[in-house]
Amino acid sequence: MDLQPIPDMNETDSVPPIFEPLCAVFRRRLKADGQKYTPERARVLDAVIRMEGPFEAEQLVEDLRASGYRVSKATIYRTIKLMQDAGIVQRVLGGDDVPRYQMIYGAKPDDTIVRVDTDEVISIDIPELIELRDKICAKYGLSPSSHRFQIFATGNDA
């Protein structure tokens, strides 16, 4: 996922969904609920955007601290929850059962084989899946923002 500009705090309006900067998506959603796009929330969003692939909440804490920002854990978790409501991130479990968060808004697809005998996770690339996905969503009148495909498998001997 590419870099986003540092979130600005200016006015918002309607822009084509998928190409709209994330901060605008987030801000719009907050506004709709009578909530505010605060500096803390902007920093958490910024840290989330910088993450590549699934990340732990603790990484956000460290990242922000390393950037010289002090945002409390409570605010980080509260912001994550807001971002979930806004359809920006999702909570997921890795093969190691560690809870992580993951961008789902406009994120790269996440296709993996999980080897249940070794816990190894193999990333695979299946372009056909996107086609299939979009076709299915169209049938339901929905707009896909991302997907996740996990195959559970073992070695042929196990």
Partner DNA sequence: CTTGGTGCAAACATTTTGCAGCACA
Partner DNA sequence: TGTGCTGCAAAATGTTTGCACCAAG
d(CA 100, CA 40): 21
Residue 66 binding target from its own copies, DNA, none, CB below 5 to 8 Å by type? none
Phi, psi (rounded to 5 degrees) for 42: -65, -40
Q: What number of residues does the chain have?
A: 158
Of the pair 6, 124, the CB lying nearest its own copies is at 124
Of the pair 10, 156, the CB lying nearest its own copies is at 156
CA atoms within 13 A on the CB side of 71: 27
Phi, psi (rounded to 5 degrees) for 67: -80, 0
d(CA 154, CA 158): 6
Given 15, 87, 108, 127, the residue binding its own copies (CB under 8 A) = 87
Residue 6 binding target from its own copies, DNA, none, CB below 5 to 8 Å by type? none
Asked if 57 interacts with its own copies (CB under 8 A), we say no
111-140 residues near its own copies, rule: CB under 8 A: 113-117, 122, 124, 126, 128-129, 132-133, 136-137, 140
- Angle at which helices 22-32 and 73-85 pack, to 10 degrees? 90
Which pair of tokens denotes residue 84? 């979930």
Query: How deeply is 133 buried, as exposed, middle or buried, from its count of CB atoms within 10 A (0-12, 13-18, 19+)?
Result: middle
Of the pair 73, 108, the CB lying nearest DNA is at 73
Q: How far is the CB of 93 from DNA (least distance, A)?
A: 9
Query: What mask of x and - would describe binding to DNA in positions 53 to 92, judged by CB under 7 A?
Result: ---xxx-----------xxxxxx-xxxxx---------x-
In the complex, the residues that contact its own copies under the rule CB under 8 A are: 17, 84-85, 87, 90-93, 97, 99, 104, 113-117, 122, 124, 126, 128-129, 132-133, 136-137, 140-156, 158
